[in-house]
Amino acid sequence: MGPLMNNSREKEYPRSCNDEKYIIASFYKFVPIRNLEKLKNTLYHICWELGISGTVLLADEGINGTIAGTRNSIKDIYKWFCDQPNLNGLQIKYSKDTSVPFHRLKVRIKREIVTMGQQGIDPTSNVGNYVDPLDWNSLLKEDNTIVIDTRNHYEVEIGTFDKALNPRTNSFREFPAWITGTLEKMPDITKESKIAMFCTGGIRCEKATSYLKDRGYKNVFHLEGGILKYFEDVSDEENLWNGECFVFDNRVSLKKDLKPGEYSMCHACRMPLAQKDLESKKYSPGVHCPKCFGTHTEKQVKRFKDRQRQMELSNLRGEKHLGGIIKQDG
């Protein structure tokens, strides 16, 4: 391998071939990490050499990422992770696509690998009970189980489990306020209540259990590997999920078989759009949709229209336009 690249720059990858399957790997691990800058440089260099795109976040509390590449490149980076003493045993989920859903490679150092904004929470040492996806249905069916979807409201709206509570948050930062302001005011909730939480890949619900444990809750559970691992492990006949699962990349949503779903993305408000939204008179590609129509300033609308024109021109030239990238919640 050549010299380390400056990973403060965001490198763009060439357009993928539609006849080749690409692997998308989502992973995380709460583990104390030292020498973050060194790990950042090393990981960026290896991913770049392997032709991997996506985003990896590093923090004192661990690692969190979603990356994409060929089957061999993902296999090679997984082997590298396994060789690292503190990174083996990653929670990792796989899915496929005919093209790379990410336009760039980013490796960044953050305060948290998923942002809750609560001091004193330590998911590296204090979390709830892991529930294997194959055991999740049994927990859901117990009458005394309080099920909480820890994802954002727009994620929940396109799919969830039947009995799950929806905190209706805009970001994970708002989750602690929902716990203290809503959940803890419910008459049947006590520190002994059995609470089961889930999210897309497991990282948010795992950190949420750490928060609840810190507040004195004793019977806290979370779906190991999240919804994506549940889709991977549980048969169609046994799968209790309703709808599709939102993902923070250009696929927008996944079906139970982990194939891209039916939703599109409004690049103005970043909300998922169903077919009926695309047919609405309030929908203009890249400018507004029924969910954000009338909420933007004239200056914003002009900027959105300019960006949409640039994206359309890029598509005609067979190029990628970075304005279409979806930002991940954190």
Q: Is 205 a catalytic residue?
A: no
Task: Residue 99: count other Cβ atoms within 10 Å of its Cβ.
Answer: 14
Q: Could you tell me which residues are beta bridge partners of residue 156? A: none
What CA–CA distance (Å, rounded) separates 116 from 288?
29
Q: Reduced to 3 states, what is the DSSP secondary structure of residue 316? A: helix
Q: Edge-to-edge, what's the strand order for the sheet holding 145-149?
A: 129-131, 219-223, 194-198, 145-149
What CA–CA distance (Å, rounded) separates 195 from 134?
18
Catalytic residue among 199, 205, 245, 266: 199
Distances (CA, A) of 97 to 18, 29, 81, 212, 315: 9, 24, 23, 36, 19
Nearest to 157 by CA among 272, 259, 326, 328: 272
Q: φ, ψ for residue 314 (rounded to 5)?
A: -60, -40
**Annotated active-site positions, please?**
199
